Protein backbone atom coordinates (compact mmCIF):
# COMPACT_ATOMS: atom_id res chain seq x y z
CA UNK A 1 0.00 0.00 0.00
CA UNK A 2 1.28 3.46 -0.82
CA UNK A 3 2.11 5.95 1.91
CA UNK A 4 -0.46 8.61 2.75
CA UNK A 5 1.06 12.07 2.45
CA UNK A 6 0.66 13.54 5.93
CA UNK A 7 1.62 16.99 7.14
CA UNK A 8 2.10 17.47 10.86
CA UNK A 9 3.77 20.14 12.93
CA UNK A 10 6.44 19.06 15.37
CA UNK A 11 7.03 20.78 18.70
CA UNK A 12 10.53 22.12 18.03
CA UNK A 13 10.76 25.91 18.17
CA UNK A 14 14.05 26.56 16.35
CA UNK A 15 14.39 30.22 15.43
CA UNK A 16 10.64 31.03 15.60
CA UNK A 17 9.58 34.34 17.16
CA UNK A 18 6.60 34.58 19.48
CA UNK A 19 4.74 37.48 21.01
CA UNK A 20 2.74 36.76 24.15
CA UNK A 21 -0.08 39.20 24.80
CA UNK A 22 -1.39 39.04 28.36
CA UNK A 23 -4.16 40.89 30.18
CA UNK A 24 -3.65 42.80 33.43
CA UNK A 25 -7.28 42.09 34.35
CA UNK A 26 -7.38 39.03 36.62
CA UNK A 27 -3.59 39.21 36.74
CA UNK A 28 -3.39 36.72 39.61
CA UNK A 29 -4.56 34.15 37.02
CA UNK A 30 -3.07 35.55 33.82
CA UNK A 31 0.47 35.86 35.19
CA UNK A 32 0.37 32.10 35.90
CA UNK A 33 -0.82 31.50 32.33
CA UNK A 34 2.10 33.62 31.14
CA UNK A 35 4.58 31.67 33.30
CA UNK A 36 3.22 28.43 31.83
CA UNK A 37 3.46 29.72 28.26
CA UNK A 38 7.00 31.09 28.61
CA UNK A 39 8.17 27.92 30.38
CA UNK A 40 6.72 25.75 27.58
CA UNK A 41 8.32 27.84 24.83
CA UNK A 42 11.74 27.83 26.54
CA UNK A 43 11.61 24.09 27.21
CA UNK A 44 10.88 23.52 23.53
CA UNK A 45 13.97 25.44 22.54
CA UNK A 46 12.79 29.05 22.15
CA UNK A 47 15.48 31.69 22.44
CA UNK A 48 14.72 34.37 25.03
CA UNK A 49 15.55 37.08 22.50
CA UNK A 50 12.81 35.70 20.22
CA UNK A 51 10.08 36.18 22.86
CA UNK A 52 8.23 39.44 23.46
CA UNK A 53 5.62 40.07 26.14
CA UNK A 54 2.93 42.73 25.68
CA UNK A 55 0.54 43.59 28.53
CA UNK A 56 -2.95 44.94 27.79
CA UNK A 57 -5.73 46.12 30.15
CA UNK A 58 -8.31 43.34 29.62
CA UNK A 59 -9.62 40.68 27.27
CA UNK A 60 -11.64 43.26 25.36
CA UNK A 61 -8.38 44.97 24.35
CA UNK A 62 -6.66 41.77 23.17
CA UNK A 63 -7.99 41.77 19.56
CA UNK A 64 -6.72 45.22 18.60
CA UNK A 65 -3.25 44.58 19.97
CA UNK A 66 -3.12 41.08 18.47
CA UNK A 67 -4.22 42.47 15.10
CA UNK A 68 -1.59 45.21 15.20
CA UNK A 69 1.16 42.69 15.98
CA UNK A 70 -0.08 40.27 13.32
CA UNK A 71 -0.23 43.04 10.72
CA UNK A 72 3.43 43.97 11.30
CA UNK A 73 4.35 40.48 10.12
CA UNK A 74 7.53 40.12 12.15
CA UNK A 75 6.46 37.26 14.43
CA UNK A 76 5.72 33.64 13.65
CA UNK A 77 2.93 33.25 16.22
CA UNK A 78 1.01 35.14 18.86
CA UNK A 79 -0.11 33.64 22.16
CA UNK A 80 -3.02 35.55 23.69
CA UNK A 81 -3.56 35.04 27.41
CA UNK A 82 -6.42 36.23 29.56
CA UNK A 83 -9.17 35.21 31.94
CA UNK A 84 -12.81 36.16 31.58
CA UNK A 85 -14.70 35.13 34.70
CA UNK A 86 -18.49 35.14 34.69
CA UNK A 87 -20.12 37.60 37.06
CA UNK A 88 -23.79 38.24 37.69
CA UNK A 89 -24.28 40.38 34.57
CA UNK A 90 -24.12 39.87 30.76
CA UNK A 91 -20.75 41.67 30.73
CA UNK A 92 -18.98 38.28 30.51
CA UNK A 93 -20.73 37.40 27.23
CA UNK A 94 -19.83 40.73 25.62
CA UNK A 95 -16.18 40.68 26.67
CA UNK A 96 -15.59 37.00 25.88
CA UNK A 97 -17.55 37.17 22.60
CA UNK A 98 -15.73 40.20 21.22
CA UNK A 99 -12.39 38.80 22.35
CA UNK A 100 -12.68 35.50 20.49
CA UNK A 101 -14.26 37.06 17.39
CA UNK A 102 -11.62 39.79 17.12
CA UNK A 103 -8.70 37.46 17.54
CA UNK A 104 -10.04 34.93 15.06
CA UNK A 105 -10.49 37.67 12.50
CA UNK A 106 -6.93 38.99 13.10
CA UNK A 107 -5.56 35.49 12.60
CA UNK A 108 -7.45 34.98 9.36
CA UNK A 109 -6.72 38.47 7.98
CA UNK A 110 -2.96 38.25 8.51
CA UNK A 111 -2.37 34.48 8.38
CA UNK A 112 -0.43 34.51 11.63
CA UNK A 113 -1.34 31.77 14.12
CA UNK A 114 -3.00 33.17 17.23
CA UNK A 115 -3.26 30.75 20.13
CA UNK A 116 -6.37 31.33 22.24
CA UNK A 117 -5.13 31.09 25.81
CA UNK A 118 -8.05 33.00 27.23
CA UNK A 119 -9.96 31.24 29.99
CA UNK A 120 -13.73 31.70 29.86
CA UNK A 121 -14.98 30.26 33.11
CA UNK A 122 -17.84 30.48 35.59
CA UNK A 123 -15.80 30.97 38.74
CA UNK A 124 -12.45 31.96 40.14
CA UNK A 125 -12.03 28.37 41.29
CA UNK A 126 -12.34 27.12 37.69
CA UNK A 127 -9.80 29.72 36.59
CA UNK A 128 -7.31 28.65 39.30
CA UNK A 129 -7.73 25.01 38.24
CA UNK A 130 -6.69 25.94 34.67
CA UNK A 131 -3.81 28.21 35.60
CA UNK A 132 -1.28 25.71 36.84
CA UNK A 133 -3.19 23.51 39.27
CA UNK A 134 -5.37 20.43 38.83
CA UNK A 135 -6.50 21.05 35.24
CA UNK A 136 -3.01 21.95 34.03
CA UNK A 137 -1.90 25.28 32.64
CA UNK A 138 -3.89 26.54 29.64
CA UNK A 139 -1.15 29.10 28.93
CA UNK A 140 1.31 26.27 28.42
CA UNK A 141 -1.20 24.43 26.22
CA UNK A 142 -1.76 27.54 24.10
CA UNK A 143 2.01 27.96 23.66
CA UNK A 144 2.30 24.34 22.57
CA UNK A 145 -0.41 24.74 19.95
CA UNK A 146 1.31 27.85 18.62
CA UNK A 147 4.58 25.93 18.15
CA UNK A 148 2.70 23.21 16.28
CA UNK A 149 0.95 25.79 14.08
CA UNK A 150 4.22 27.53 13.18
CA UNK A 151 5.63 24.22 12.00
CA UNK A 152 2.51 23.24 10.06
CA UNK A 153 2.44 26.60 8.26
CA UNK A 154 6.15 26.34 7.42
CA UNK A 155 5.46 23.04 5.68
CA UNK A 156 2.47 24.39 3.81
CA UNK A 157 4.35 27.52 2.58
Q: Which of 18, 25, 67, 141 binds ligand INI (CB under 6 A)?
A: 25
Residue 33 touches ligand INI, criterion: CB under 6 A: no
Nearest residue (CB) to ligand INI, 57 versus 136: 57
21 bridge partner residues: 54, 80
Q: Which of 44, 58, 145, 153 binds ligand INI (CB under 6 A)?
A: 58
Contact between 78 and 64 under an 8 Å Cβ cutoff? The reply is: no
**d(Cα 51, Cα 95) in Å, to the nearest integer?**
27
55 bridge partner residues: 22
Supply the DSSP symbol for 45: T
Residue 32 touches ligand INI, criterion: CB under 6 A: no
Distance from chain centroid for Cα 89: 26
Contact between 56 and 21 under an 8 Å Cβ cutoff? The reply is: yes
Q: Do you know the residue count of the chain?
A: 157
Contact between 110 and 77 under an 8 Å Cβ cutoff? The reply is: no
Give the shortest CB-89-to-ligand INI separation in angstroms: 9
Q: Is 110 a catalytic residue?
A: no
- Considering only residues 66 to 125 of the shown chain, the ones binding ligand INI according to CB under 6 A are 82-85, 87, 91-92, 95
Nearest residue (CB) to ligand INI, 29 versus 147: 29
Give the shortest CB-99-to-ligand INI separation in angstroms: 7
| Catalytic residue selected from 43, 91, 101, 154 | 91
Q: Which residues bind ligand INI (CB under 6 A)?
A: 23, 25-26, 57-61, 82-85, 87, 91-92, 95
Amino acid sequence: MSEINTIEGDLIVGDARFTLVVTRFNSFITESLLDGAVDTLLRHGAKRENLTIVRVPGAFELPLVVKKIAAKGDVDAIVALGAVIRGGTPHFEYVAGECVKGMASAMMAHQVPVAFGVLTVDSIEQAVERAGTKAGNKGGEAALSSIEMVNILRQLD
